[in-house]
């Protein structure tokens, strides 16, 4: 199957599985898994932060970050379409007693500065205490402009807010901008990074930040059930991805551009945007269901829920891209 539903479907390679099989292990809740410790130290250094902490998922890494920055009854400013607000089951509110203050994202994924300022509450006991600004990069595949990030995080600091970045796909931004992980993490107090998206690990995310924040996060991670034992198996996969898969993302971006170009030439397909490894398309409403069925019959999976998002990843080849374009072309020729 050519699976365009998400980059989360990527499978570990034989070399990654080998790294996992041969990793020296300990018990990470006791702090003595050497592979976890080495990975966390290496990642922290690469991100230019004091410390890093491994998590089973990005949802848990984001939740713990929000809980480390905010106390009960505090509030965080976040995008209406941000993952931490929209796609994490309301965890910040449910489990952290943290009130979200969502703001409509602009077309480029940014939160307008004047809306951030207007959302910060005065110090008055009627209001929740505004504590944190949370951004996402990439968002909908788009890289947030560096100048915007600087302005938004400067503004947050002027208001006494901490800053968190959901960097589930920050490595895509690293590759797309040719800036370093350290440069892209620098404006933020904490950053959550995923290894189970386009980087191909079976699981694993990491939070980076100051030693104080990570110490707090370790306690919270245990509280929410994220303390793991021989998690060197996961850390070995993440380290392997960091060493060998990051630079491959450039091929995903190239293939996504090729897919967008091919599809935009077809009648009945409107490519609405393409950035990094994602292509957003629109089909006439009446074609969505029959097209998805046709594609499935021809070995191509797309997510009907978000029928307009096609995600390219390391398990999609150049030939697969040509095949997707050809199969879609045949569908619309038959109409
Ligand atoms: C995937 C993703 C996460 C984390 O998801 P998990 O499935 O919990 O690892 C967080 N933020 C964004 C933007 C994501 O795409």
To 5 degrees, how large is the angle CA 134–CA 138–CA 141?
Answer: 135
Kind plus residue range of the DSSP H or E element containing 306: none
The residue with tokens 């079976």 is 202
DSSP secondary-structure letter at 280? E
Q: Assess whether pLDDT exceeds 70 at residue 267.
A: yes
Looking at residue 220, its pLDDT comes to 98
pLDDT band at 304 (very low <50, low <70, confident <90, very high): low
Query: Per-residue pLDDT tens for 57-78?
Result: 999 999 999 999 999 999 999 9
**Count of alpha carbons within 13 Å of 121, Cβ hemisphere only?**
18
- Biggest alpha carbon distance in the chain? 65
Mean pLDDT score, 246-252: 98
Across the strands, what pairs with 135? 165
Q: Is the CB of 194 under 6 A from ligand 1?
A: yes
**Which of 54, 56, 57, 59 is the pocket-test mutation for ligand 1 (most atoms within 8 Å of CB)?**
59
State the distance from the centre of ligand 1 to the C-alpha of 141, rounded, in angstroms. Answer: 13
To 5 degrees, how large is the angle CA 293–CA 298–CA 302?
Answer: 55
pTM beyond 0.75: yes
Q: What percent of the chain has pLDDT over 90?
A: 93
Which atom of ligand 1 is closest in space to residue 60's alpha carbon?
8
Q: Is the CB of 136 under 6 A from ligand 1?
A: yes
d(CA 83, CA 205): 15
Residues in the chain: 335
Q: Assess whether pLDDT exceeds 70 at residue 305.
A: no
Q: Assess whether pLDDT exceeds 80 at residue 281.
A: yes
State the distance from the centre of ligand 1 to the C-alpha of 168, rounded, in angstroms. Answer: 6
> Quick check: 167 and 191 in contact, CB under 8 A?
yes
Looking at residue 335, its pLDDT comes to 77
Which atom of ligand 1 is closest in space to residue 82's alpha carbon?
13
d(CA 206, CA 193): 5
Which atom of ligand 1 is closest in space to residue 197's alpha carbon?
1
Query: Per-residue pLDDT tens for 122-140?
Result: 999 999 999 999 999 999 9
Q: Is the CB of 205 under 6 A from ligand 1?
A: yes
Q: What percent of the chain has pLDDT over 70?
A: 99
pLDDT band at 285 (very low <50, low <70, confident <90, very high): confident
State the distance from the centre of ligand 1 to the C-alpha of 331, rounded, in angstroms. Answer: 33
Average pLDDT for the chain:
96
d(CA 177, CA 243): 19
Looking at residue 307, its pLDDT comes to 59
Looking at residue 3, its pLDDT comes to 97
Q: How far is CA 313 from CA 65, 172, 272, 277, in A?
A: 27, 11, 19, 7
d(CA 109, CA 234): 31
Q: Whose CA is nearest to atom 3 of ligand 1?
A: 58
State the distance from the centre of ligand 1 to the C-alpha of 187, rounded, in angstroms. Answer: 21
State the distance from the centre of ligand 1 to the C-alpha of 332, rounded, in angstroms. Answer: 34
Helix 211-223 and helix 58-69: axis angle, to 10°? 120
Q: Is the CB of 83 under 6 A from ligand 1?
A: yes
Mean pLDDT score, 142-167: 98
Which atom of ligand 1 is closest in space to residue 166's alpha carbon?
11
Q: Whose CA is nearest to atom 5 of ligand 1?
A: 58
Q: Assess whether pLDDT exceeds 60 at residue 306.
A: no
Looking at residue 334, its pLDDT comes to 83
For the chain, what is the radius of gyration of the CA atoms?
Answer: 21
């Amino acid at each position: 199957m050519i699976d365009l539903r998400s980059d989360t479907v990527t499978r570990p390679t034989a070399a990654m599985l080998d790294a996992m099989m041969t990793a020296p292990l300990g018990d990470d809740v006791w702090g003595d898994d050497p592979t976890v410790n080495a990975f966390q130290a290496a990642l922290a250094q690469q991100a230019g932060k004091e410390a890093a902490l491994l998590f089973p998922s990005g949802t848990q890494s984001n939740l713990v970050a929000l809980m480390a920055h905010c106390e009960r009854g505090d509030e965080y400013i976040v995008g209406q379409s941000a993952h931490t607000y929209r796609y994490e089951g309301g965890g910040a509110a449910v489990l952290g007693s943290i009130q979200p203050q969502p703001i409509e994202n602009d077309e480029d994924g940014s939160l307008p500065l004047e809306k951030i300022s207007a959302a910060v509450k005065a110090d008055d006991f009627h209001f929740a205490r505004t504590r944190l600004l949370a951004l996402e990069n990439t968002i909908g595949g788009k890289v947030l402009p560096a100048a915007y990030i600087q302005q938004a995080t400067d503004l947050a600091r002027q208001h006494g807010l901490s800053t968190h970045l959901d960097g589930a796909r920050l490595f895509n931004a690293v590759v797309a901008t040719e800036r370093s992980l350290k440069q892209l993490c620098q404006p933020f107090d904490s950053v959550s990074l995923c290894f189970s998206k386009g980087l191909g690990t079976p699981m694993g995310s990491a939070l980076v930040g100051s030693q104080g924040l990570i110490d707090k996060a370790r306690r919270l991670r245990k509280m929410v059930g994220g303390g793991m034992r021989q998690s060197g198996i996961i850390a070995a996969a993440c380290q392997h991805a960091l060493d060998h898969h990051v630079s491959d993302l450039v091929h995903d971006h190239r293939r996504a551009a090729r897919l967008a170009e091919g599809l935009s030439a077809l009648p009945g397909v409107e490519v609405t945007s393409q950035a990094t490894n994602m292509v957003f398309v629109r089909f006439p409403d009446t074609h969505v269901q029959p097209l998805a069925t046709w594609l499935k019959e021809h070995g191509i999976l797309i997510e009907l829920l978000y029928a307009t998002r096609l995600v390219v990843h390391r398990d999609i080849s150049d030939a697969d891209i040509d095949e997707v374009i050809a199969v879609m072309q045949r569908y619309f020729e038959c109409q």
